[in-house]
Structures are given as C-alpha cells and as structure tokens.
Chains A and B, each alone.
Chain A
Amino acid sequence: MKALSRVDASATKSDAELLARVAEGELGALGAVYDRHCESIRRFVARATCGHADADDLVHDAFLTAARIAARFDGRASARPWLIGIAARLVQRRARGLGRIPRLLARLAWTRPQALDPVDALEARSALDRMAPAVARMTADKRIVLLMAELEGMTGPEIAEALEIPIGTVWTRLHHARRDVMRAIDLIPRDEAKPR
C-alpha cells in the first residue's frame, strides 16, 4: 500500500519535490501533480489527437508513465514540459499503432458533416473551420511539434529533448506545420511567387 500523506501541504511544494515523493511511492504527491497539470495536459492531448475520444486514456497513461519514471525528472522548475513530452510520445505511438488510416480519421474528426443549415454553411467559411482541418491533415509528428512550440511555449531544444529527435528535425517540422496552417487561414498568400 502506497503512503497517503499531507496532501494539503503539497500545494506549496515544487514539482521536483512532489515528483521525488512520487518516486518513493507517495500517492498524495501524485494527486497534487495531477491537480496542478491535468488541465494543460488534457488540452494538449485533445488538440494533438484532434479531439479523439481516447484522449482521456492518453492523459491517464501519461500521468501513470510519469509516476513510474518520476525518479528521472531532472528537477527543472516546472514539470509541465516534461509531462507534455511524455504525452506527446504517447500520442505519436498511438498515431503509429492506430492502423493505416490515422490521418483520415483525424481529418474526419475535425471536419464537419454536410452543413445543411445556412448558418452552418456561413460558419464553415470561418478561419477556424479552415484551420482545424489543416491541422488535422498534417502528420501527428508535425502537429505535436507545432502545438508544443506555439501553444505550450516550449523552446526548440526543449522539444528536441522531450521527443528525442535532432534539433534540426524540430525546426523543419515546425516550419512546414506553420506554413500549412498559415496558408489555410490566409495569413500568407498561397500564390506567392518564389524568390529567384
């Protein structure tokens, strides 16, 4: 039986202190880490999976994995980038194991069914409705890097470390992902001439 202790005192403890206690098997410390970060991890996973129904399972797996490898946490101020990295790798793994049609499913998940209502038809022209399919169309690898950089505020080196990929790969994926979204919502023109 793992120890339940001083949950109320956990609010003042740093992530590193809490994870050190998790590594020792303290249940209350894991609860405190979960309370602190679950919403941001849930948002990240929901976006990275394009709102797929098993996002909750991935969040669960991410925290459970984090608990099991808590001793490896490097002690930085916030555990959020580390947790995002664990969640990102689970999302990648899920995308690779989902079958031969993960991108099709992602695309359909964020694409509206036939819009019969005129209001829906008008809404369908909004930037969001053009952006969401563009994000869903890209590979999970590119989407994850885009979300980590733009929405989670992680630096390139942090992303490279979290995903165990070369920094050059991070910049390449990020550049292509940004270009796809910017074109989809007309932040940059599609018909721009290339430099000579």
Chain B
Amino acid sequence: MTRCPRRVEVEAAHDGRLDAAARASIAQHQRDCASCQLAANALAALRPALARLPVPSSDALAARRQRNRLLAAFEASPAAPVPSRGRGRVGKALGALALAGTAAAAMIATRAARAVDPPAVTTSAVTVAPTSARWSRYDQGGLTLVRLEDGELELHVAHGSAPHRLIVILPDGMLDDVGTTFHVSVAAGHTSAIAVRDGAVVMRRAGRPAVFLSAGDRWSPEPAPPPVASAAPSPPAVPPPAPRAPRVTRPPVRNAIAAEFRDAVSLLEGGRNAAAATALSGFLARHGDDPRAEDASYLLVLALQRIGDAGATRAAAHEYLQRYPRGLRRAEAEALVRGSP
C-alpha cells in the first residue's frame, strides 16, 4: 500500500488541530482512502495499547511510607519565600535547569553576593577555593549550590560515606558535579572556561546539548561571530568560517579507553551477554579509575543478570555498592543484593 500524502491531516484531526472545514474534508476523504483509514484506526488503537505498558504495583504500606516521607521532607524544608507567577523568561529557564533545587536556588538568589576574594570555604564534602570571584553558596543536607557570577573558582567534592551533590549555577547554564575536582571561570556574564582535574562534570546550557567532561578535559565556549563592518563591505575573498561547536580537548589516550568501553556496551546491546560480561570485567580491572567505570560496573551487573547467573549478579551488585555507595544506580543495585527483582 502506498502511503497517502493526506495522512498527516488524519493525525492533525485526531489531535484537534484542524478547523471544522478541514476536519470535514479529511473525514470525507478518509471514507474512500484505505491508507488514511489505516492511519485513523492505528491512532485509535494506540492509546489502549500503550495503557498495557507495565507499571510496577504499589502496596498500601509503601504508599503510606512515601506519603509520610513527603510530609516529613516538606515540614523540614525551610519556609522559603515563594516566587510569584510573573517570572521572566530567564528566571524560568534557570528554574527548568535546576528544578529539583528550585527553592534552594530561590534562597541563594536572595542572598547578597559575597565580597570579591572571600577565603576558601570548606564543609565536610565541598571545598571552594576562589581565585578572584563574585560568588555565593548555599548548603542544605546532601546538596551544595554555588552561584558564580564572575571570576574563577576551584571546587573539590570529597567522596565520603554520605552522598553529596554539588550544582554550580552559572550566568548561562549550570554544572552538575559527578564527584570531582574542577576549575570554572566566568567573565562578562558567560562561562569562559572549565577544566576538570579529577572525576567528571556535566555542563548544561539552555537550548544546547549537555556536555560531559571527564578528568583531563578542558572546555571553552564557541568563538563569538566576527564583528560586522560598518561601511559597505566588499565581498570577502575567503568565505567566513562556519560556526564552531564549543571546544573540548581530550588527552589522546582517552580515545582508546572510550573505544574499549563502547565495544563492551555494543556486545551487551547485541545480546552477547557473556562476552559483554568478560569485556566489562576487563575494563574495570584495567581502568577502575576511569569516569566510565561506574557505568561499566553497573552494566556488568546487568550482563550477569541477563546470562541468568543470580549468584554472580548479586555479587556484582554488592561490588557496585562497595565501590559507589552514592552511585546513580544505587537503588537498583540494592534491590538486586536484597534479592528482589
């Protein structure tokens, strides 16, 4: 069957995007067009099909526990002044970036910025060493928010037994720490450089893809477009260069390690679980300090699970928790160690 070019109108009608006349037109066409009838039937069948997607069951006790946890967290939270609805676009964008820390971000925004060149500030988890900066800081529980308005900061997050998260709010984005030592500079309202010495960070800027930076990586922004000449310019002899992506320079040795990790992941994706388990074990043995080691450690658990070796799966999950007590897949690993699916 050939796909009817008017099929897009069937979907538009389904979504309520057509006016009455257009709706009547496509309805009449649909009566004589097998392709459009097929599309309409498929759209009607999609919702009941999707409703069959599995949802883990929740018992009343777990729901009650969740409710109590929420109310306790709300009660313990500071009575932060709640911003009104009329926020500006920039405020909204920042709110979207740091949604989980909305209230904390609001609090940090209301604090007066610290004086230039404050002394180094240390808590049990996060050390901030300003070189020459205008910045402020907010700590609550396992979260530290640092707002850098201008200048340079050197930050270090210590790996302790308790999980700790660091978010650096920049004028044009945010840095999400993954356990690390790094240096960040801001100039003229824009992030001008990031250098990661240990661990990894994720750089997020509104409207742009996130950039993952690991140890040894240096980031600098894309160059600004050349200034426009004021007088009537003659045609340029050489075409202007295409806009370039932000530069991330990586040590060459990392390419080989990255390829090794990619190969192991490909084995797992291809269903070659035993080979993947071997490759991932080898990767962990050779590159235990690599930023990808946590992913590799968890993927090893999955590979063993898919082989069907329950004992080895549990042991690998236990090993993951030992190595990464604040790991991103902690909940899944703990469930596997407990023996629940």
Q: Compute how far the CA of A3 lies from the CA of B17 in the bound complex, rounded to whole angstroms.
A: 46
B276 to chain A, nearest CB (A): 11
A15 to chain B, nearest CB (A): 16
Most chain B Cβ neighbours within 10 Å, of A86, A90, A97: A97
6 A-B pairs with least C-beta separation: A187-B42, A71-B82, A53-B331, A68-B103, A195-B5, A53-B332
B199 to chain A, nearest CB (A): 13
Q: Which residue of chain B lies nearest to A149 when distances are taken between CB atoms in the complex? A: B15
Q: Compute how far the CA of A114 lies from the CA of B43 in the bound complex, rounded to whole angstroms.
A: 32
Q: Which residue of chain A lies nearest to B50 when distances are taken between CB atoms in the complex? A: A150
Q: A65-B102, A185-B49 are in contact. List 19 more A-B contacts (CB 8 A).
A: A2-B74, A23-B82, A39-B63, A46-B55, A51-B55, A61-B100, A63-B70, A64-B74, A65-B99, A69-B83, A90-B100, A105-B302, A105-B329, A113-B307, A114-B273, A132-B53, A151-B47, A156-B16, A181-B50
- In the complex, which residues of chain B have a beta carbon less than 8 angstroms from the beta carbon of A193? 1-3
A181, B82: Cβ atoms closer than 8 Å: no
B50, A67: Cβ atoms closer than 8 Å: no
Q: Compute how far the CA of A92 lies from the CA of B94 in the bound complex, rounded to whole angstroms.
A: 15
Q: Which residue of chain A lies nearest to B82 when distances are taken between CB atoms in the complex? A: A71
A34, B67: Cβ atoms closer than 8 Å: yes
A121-150 residues with Cβ-Cβ distance < 8 A to B are: 127-128, 131-132, 135, 146-147, 149-150
B36-81 residues with Cβ-Cβ distance < 8 A to A are: 38-39, 41-43, 45-47, 49-56, 58, 62-63, 66-67, 69-71, 73-75, 77, 79-80
A111 to chain B, nearest CB (A): 9
A52 at the interface (CB under 8 A from B): yes
- In the complex, which residues of chain A have a beta carbon less than 8 angstroms from the beta carbon of B93? 164
Interface range on chain B (Cβ under 8 Å from partner):
35 or more
Interface 1/0 per residue, B196-228 and A, CB below 8 Å: 000000101000001010000000000000000
B162-209 residues with Cβ-Cβ distance < 8 A to A are: 176, 202, 204
Q: Compute how far the CA of A90 lies from the CA of B92 in the bound complex, rounded to whole angstroms.
A: 15
Interface 1/0 per residue, B121-145 and A, CB below 8 Å: 0000000000000000000000000
Q: Which residue of chain B lies nearest to A175 when distances are taken between CB atoms in the complex? A: B11
Given contacts A47-B53, A64-B77, contact A192 B84 (CB under 8 A): no
A131, B49: Cβ atoms closer than 8 Å: yes
Binding site for A on B (CB under 8 A): 1-5, 11, 15-17, 35, 38-39, 41-43, 45-47, 49-56, 58, 62-63, 66-67, 69-71, 73-75, 77, 79-80, 82-85, 92-93, 96, 99-100, 102-103, 176, 202, 204, 210, 212, 265, 268-269, 273, 292, 294-295, 299, 302, 305-308, 328-329, 331-332, 335
B74, A178: Cβ atoms closer than 8 Å: no
Interface 1/0 per residue, A166-196 and B, CB below 8 Å: 0000010011001001100101110011111
Q: Which residue of chain B lies nearest to A51 when distances are taken between CB atoms in the complex? A: B56
- In the complex, which residues of chain B have a beta carbon less than 8 angstroms from the beta carbon of A108? 268, 302, 306
Most chain A Cβ neighbours within 10 Å, of B5, B102, B294: B102
- In the complex, which residues of chain B have a beta carbon less than 8 angstroms from the beta carbon of A63? 70
B15, A51: Cβ atoms closer than 8 Å: no
Given contacts A69-B82, A195-B5, contact A178 B11 (CB under 8 A): yes
A72 at the interface (CB under 8 A from B): yes
Given contacts A72-B85, A108-B302, A164-B92, contact A101 B265 (CB under 8 A): yes
B53, A188: Cβ atoms closer than 8 Å: no
- In the complex, which residues of chain A have a beta carbon less than 8 angstroms from the beta carbon of B62? 56
A16 at the interface (CB under 8 A from B): no
- In the complex, which residues of chain B have a beta carbon less than 8 angstroms from the beta carbon of A188? 38-39, 42
A77 at the interface (CB under 8 A from B): no
